[in-house]
Amino acid sequence: MSAFRVGVSAAFHRPDGRWNFPGFDLAPLVQDRSLEIVHLRNGAALAHADVAALDALILAGDALPASALPASSRLALVARFGVGYDKVDVAACTAAGVALTITPDAVRRPVAVAALTMVLALAGKLLVKDRLTREGPAGFARRTDHMGVGLEGRVLASLGLGNIAREMFRLAAPFGMRPIAHDPYADPAVAASLGVALVDLDAVFRDADFLCVHCPLTPATRHLVNAERLAAMKRGAFLVNTARGPIVDQQALEDALEEGRLAGAGLDVLDPEPPPAGARILQLPNVILAPHALSWTDQCFAAIGDGCIAPVRDVAAGRVPQHVVNREVLADAGFIAKLAARRDAAR
């Protein structure tokens, strides 16, 4: 059997060819003589020609549409660099006998820290106070006009109680906030172990002092945070989104912030990304913004990289990888045959 060919998607490279994700070391794969590494250069959305001759694909920000995944493909694995997979046609992966894996363990702590960073910065009016300080004596004289918000007893709410949200609540416990969450799929026993009260969708908006978005982007969650629900929030509440931009109706959020119905927002994700120059969200003084990168650290990227290397090695050896999104593919005859062929080749 030919070498196990591993594609590395174009988003890993800058336009000048430099590596775009410091901390992710490909050396363990490059040094494995049973593997062949292929660096893809087609940007934005992959095509069938990009993946047809691959056995595995490590995928960063590129889209993987159904047209790239005909059933005849030899591809067995798409290892997503991170946890979001809204740009991947999951059904097409399953139909083509391709397992899609993500790296939940790697992003759990970094994204939870990013969300809390936004909460703390908003509560303390960090950016406002930074600007005041830079004004010198005139700014110092206005300090009492910009009082922060204490956290003890405030309601820390989450849309979603998955991996990241649970970590956020664990980290936030010493602040003495009251934790609530809405998640129709949450295990009540897990929520109880964290001291998190599970509430309905209306209550999570109505009761939140700080509402953090921690759900995946799906057709059901697109614009889940809309004008009607923002209007139901307390005057003076804050919104934090470190998940995906389109979960929030950005125009509705801009209206609520501009009119003062919300005190502020912390956004690591936007719709679209990047925003056009002069976009209204960029002009609002009560918003803290980050370029979908607040959780990016050396440790985060190293862990995500490890979380992609492991499933590549598993599938190359004919083993079922961990953290498969489309679990139904594990019973697919095509996928089973691909693993069996790799096991036979390894003997």
pLDDT tens-place string over residues 194-222:
999 999 999 999 999 999 999 999 999 99
Catalytic residue among 154, 244, 313, 342: 244
| Whole-number average pLDDT of the chain | 95
Residue 345: pLDDT band with limits 50, 70, 90: confident
- Domains of the chain plus CATH, in order, are 4-102+297-346 (3.40.50.720), 106-289 (3.40.50.720)
Task: Examine the residue annotation and report whether 146 is marked as an active-site residue of this protein.
Answer: no
Stretch among 21-35, 40-54, 249-263 having the lowest mean pLDDT: 40-54
Instruction: Locate 5 and state its tokens.
Output: 């060919």
Of 85, 82, 238, 108, nearest to 164 (Cα)? 108
What's the average model confidence in pLDDT over 114-138?
A: 97
Which residue do the tokens 């820390």 mark? 156
Give the predicted TM-score (pTM) of the model.
0.92
pLDDT at residue 341, rounded to an integer: 93
1 pLDDT above the threshold of 60: no
Strands (E), the chain: 4-8, 35-39, 56-59, 77-80, 99-101, 155-159, 178-182, 197-198, 210-213, 237-241, 262-267, 287-289
Catalytic residue among 273, 327, 328, 343: 273
What contacts 44, CB < 8 A, 6 or more positions away? 62, 63
Instruction: Locate 324 and state its tokens.
Output: 């498969």
Task: Examine the residue annotation and report whether 244 is marked as an active-site residue of this protein.
Answer: yes
31 pLDDT above the threshold of 60: yes
pLDDT at residue 161, rounded to an integer: 98
Residue 49: pLDDT band with limits 50, 70, 90: confident
Catalytic residue among 170, 223, 261, 292: 292
Of 153, 152, 179, 149, nearest to 166 (Cα)? 179
pLDDT tens-place string over residues 184-195:
999 999 999 999
244 pLDDT above the threshold of 60: yes
What's the average model confidence in pLDDT over 248-271?
A: 98
95 pLDDT above the threshold of 70: yes
Position with higher pLDDT, 292 vs 21 = 292
Instruction: Locate 185 and state its tokens.
Output: 């799929």
Q: Please say whether the beta carbons of 168 and 112 come within 8 A.
A: yes
pLDDT at residue 43, rounded to an integer: 66
Which residue do the tokens 């139901």 mark? 232
Residue 163: pLDDT band with limits 50, 70, 90: very high
